[in-house]
Amino acid sequence: MAIRKIRVKDDEILRKKSKDVKEINEKITTLLDDMAETMYDAEGVGLAAPQVGVLKKLVVIDVGDGLIELINPVVVETRGEKIFNEACLSVPGESGNVLRPEYAKVEALNRKGEKIFVEGENVLAVALCHETEHLDGILYIDKVIPDDEN
Which amino acid is present at 89?
L
Stretch that binds Zn ion, among 8-16, 33-41, 55-63, 81-89 (CB under 5 A): 81-89
Q: Does 129 bind Zn ion (CB under 5 A)?
A: no
Closest residue by Cα to residue 47 from 60, 29, 56, 65? 60
Tell me if 53 sits within 8 A of 22, measured CB to CB. Answer: no
Least distance (Å) from Zn ion to the CB of residue 2?
20
Catalytic residue among 26, 37, 121, 131: 131
* Residue 9 vs 113, nearer CB to Zn ion: 9
The one among 36, 88, 104, 124 contacting Zn ion by CB under 5 A: 88
Backbone φ/ψ region at 66: left (φ over 0), alpha (ψ -120 to 50), beta: left
Q: Does 71 bind Zn ion (CB under 5 A)?
A: no
The DSSP secondary-structure symbol of 4 reads P
Least distance (Å) from Zn ion to the CB of residue 22?
24
What is the size of the binding site for Zn ion (CB under 5 A)?
1
**Is 86 one of the annotated active-site residues of the chain?**
no
Least distance (Å) from Zn ion to the CB of residue 135?
11
Cα-to-chain-centroid distance, residue 49: 8
Residue 20: HSE in the Cβ half-sphere, 13 Å Cα cutoff: 6
Q: Which residues are catalytic?
A: 131
Binding residues (CB under 5 A) for Zn ion: these are 88
